[in-house]
Amino acid sequence: MKTENTAPAGESLNFIEEIIEADLAAGKYQSVLTRFPPEPNGYLHIGHSKSICLNFGLAQKYGGKTNLRFDDTNPVTEDTEYVDSILEDVRWLGFEPANIFFASDYFDQLYDWAEELIMKGRAYVDFSTPEEVAAQKGTPTTPGTPNKYRETSPEENLDIFRRMRAGEFPDGHCTLRAKIDLASPNMHMRDPYLYRIKHAHHHRTGDKWCIYPMYDWAHGQSDSIENITHSICTLEFIPHRELYEWCIDSLGIFPSRQYEFARLNLTYTVMSKRKLKQLVEEGHVRAWDDPRMPTIAGMRRRGFTPESMRDFATRIGIAKRENLIELSLLEFCIREDLNKRALRRFAVLNPMKVVITNFPEGQTEWMETENNPEDPEAGKRPLPFSRELWIEQDDFMENPPPKYFRLSPGGMVRLKSAFIIRCDETVKDAGGNVTALRCTYFPESRSGQDTSGLKVQGVIHWLSAEHAKTAEVRLYDRLFRVEDPAAEEDFKSAINPDSLEVISKAFVEPALMEAGTGDRFQFTRLGYFCVDPDSGSTGMVFNRTVTLKDTWAKEQKK
């Protein structure tokens, strides 16, 4: 019993919570309104999960609300498939948006504001090519130079802009640019693009528009329209903040404010949508929801729980420092969650036949074993024991090293929840490989009523060969061989060729055949597994979510 009495340490806040509490204390806002603004051009990944947990978590903590807003200003890369998956993923994580909006809901308003800006003399239509504009922008160390379009009158600009909207010009013919400061040390303030011409079909507005607003012209105003108080994004948007505020100030609208935190990086993982998309499209993984992918859909299929992902998000914290989180923390989170909840089942992945020579043929004796030692309420289940069994190949060694607790010639081991057996004889094939074991069991060593007086160090799992069913089991390993694949010259060269191992004929308890898609189990001594949606009439398929901690394997590597 601990008697130490530490002072009631005040809860520590992350820097965004500090800002919010200061704003609330100052009466700046009555309540907190955040938003999660994904672009529907790919699937959400665990980095987005960090952002979702932050935005929704802040709102929950301070009695506010969070909108889901699809940032759909670029019709050529966006698709409703992604809209659907994003909404599903947000809800699966356990959050319900207060509103579901689209930046495209605001296209009319955004357009009107652009005309307003033109009439104020703060925007102009530019017919320069992208190359010309780049040259005119200068470099970070040299100021840009204005071109003739910068001096076009508001009236003429308005006329041309309206013709842009009317579809008079082809793609790329001209753009609308803000007239700010070509000498600004912030490159984003050197007359940024506001609108570009794209004769493209939009997933929501159809063919209504042939000009589309750029991110910088859409995002801050969208926040403002929704009265977002704290607009939270990642570090790379810091240079955009000045422009974000310029737009809002120029229009005199609700002053949403932007704050930036460091995105999540995970060891042995890539986290950019572009790279993830590449993995999918080039077939390095099967799909966006491949269980090896760090996408929310992939992790769900892999067997992660929403609870474990939220727990992970809180444990990694929020700060402005670049970070690279160790995968072991994620594994800890899912193991901790599943250890308490997952029912135990026996499965033998790499089978070795064991014949109990002193057990009668054709006879079955029923054992009983707990469903979850961490949860007595989970109850017990019967387990059939018979003359021929399957055990794991790893649980037998002909020439064992010191401290090997499992079965070896002449050695004894306990079959969990059943009997102690002794290995009397090995059966070998022509190549000298051990193919089966002939063992003796000790009837008086029955689990729970052991009067044998025998002591063994090892306990292994097993399955009655007569009763076992077969299933496919997919074992996953990290997708990359190096800690930071994104730092490689070519990240794909770091792909782990052994990230998937398929065991097409593993043995499992009969009870497992009734499991439904997504059900999670601990295969005793092996790891956590869940039922893959590929399961069906042709058989059950299990995905390994994560192994159990294995201090013996670690010892072996030394």
Interacting positions 304-333 with RNA (CB under 7 A): 315-326, 328-329, 332
- Which residues is 60 bridged to in the sheet? none
Binding segment toward RNA, per CB under 7 A, in 89-97, 404-412, 473-481, 536-544: 404-412
Angle at 16 between CA 12 and CA 17, to 5 degrees: 45
Binding segment toward RNA, per CB under 7 A, in 138-146, 295-303, 430-438, 502-510: 138-146
Contact in structure between 228 and 34 (CB atoms under 8 Å): yes
Alpha helices, DSSP H only, in 73-182?
80-92, 107-119, 130-136, 154-166
CB of 300 to RNA, least distance (A): 22
Q: Using CB under 7 A, pick the residue from 63, 167, 185, 443 that binds RNA.
A: 185
Phi, psi angles (nearest 5°) of residue 307: -60, -45
Binding track over 76-95 against RNA, x by CB under 7 A: -x------------------
Binding track over 524-543 against RNA, x by CB under 7 A: xx------------------
Secondary element (H or E) of residue 100? strand 99-102
**Cα–Cα dist 528/304, whole Å:** 10
**Cα–Cα dist 46/333, whole Å:** 14
CB of 396 to RNA, least distance (A): 11
Asked whether position 63 contacts RNA by CB under 7 A, the answer is: no
What is the rounded (10 degree) CA torsion for 165, 171, 172, 178?
A: 20
**Cα–Cα dist 496/476, whole Å:** 11
**Residues touching RNA: how many (CB under 7 A)?**
93
Report the half-sphere exposure of 432 (CA within 13 A, side-chain side): 1
- Of 496, 506, 510, which is closest to residue 544 (Cα–Cα)? 506
Binding track over 265-304 against RNA, x by CB under 7 A: ----------------------------------------
**Cα–Cα dist 72/102, whole Å:** 7
Q: Which is nearer to RNA, 287 or 459 (CB)?
A: 459
Which residue of the set 50, 165, 241, 273 is catalytic? Answer: 273
Binding residues among 205-264 for RNA as defined by CB under 7 A: 212, 214-215, 219, 235-240, 262
Question: What's the one-letter identity of residue 554?
Answer: K
Contact in structure between 317 and 14 (CB atoms under 8 Å): yes
Contact in structure between 154 and 121 (CB atoms under 8 Å): yes
CB of 322 to RNA, least distance (A): 6
Asked whether position 399 contacts RNA by CB under 7 A, the answer is: no
Q: Which is nearer to RNA, 185 or 533 (CB)?
A: 185
Asked whether position 489 contacts RNA by CB under 7 A, the answer is: no
Q: Using CB under 7 A, pick the residue from 71, 191, 289, 509 that binds RNA.
A: 71
Binding segment toward RNA, per CB under 7 A, in 146-154, 173-181, 246-254, 532-540: 173-181
What CA–CA distances, in Å, run from 530 to 291, 299, 520, 541?
A: 11, 11, 4, 8
Beta-carbon contacts of residue 444 (< 8 Å; ≥ 6 apart): 450, 451, 452
Left (φ > 0), alpha (ψ -120 to 50) or beta: where does 165 sit?
alpha
Q: Using CB under 7 A, pick the residue from 96, 112, 168, 550 that binds RNA.
A: 550
Q: Using CB under 7 A, pick the residue from 99, 139, 153, 435 that binds RNA.
A: 139
CB of 331 to RNA, least distance (A): 7
Binding residues among 328-357 for RNA as defined by CB under 7 A: 328-329, 332, 335-336, 339, 344
Asked whether position 450 contacts RNA by CB under 7 A, the answer is: yes
Beta-carbon contacts of residue 328 (< 8 Å; ≥ 6 apart): none
Asked whether position 68 contacts RNA by CB under 7 A, the answer is: no
CB of 533 to RNA, least distance (A): 26
Binding track over 458-477 against RNA, x by CB under 7 A: xxxx----------------
Residue 273 bears catalytic tag? yes
**Cα–Cα dist 21/72, whole Å:** 32
CB of 289 to RNA, least distance (A): 22
Asked whether position 14 contacts RNA by CB under 7 A, the answer is: yes
Asked whether position 378 contacts RNA by CB under 7 A, the answer is: no
Binding segment toward RNA, per CB under 7 A, in 84-92, 447-455, 488-496, 508-516: 447-455
Active site residues: 39, 263, 273
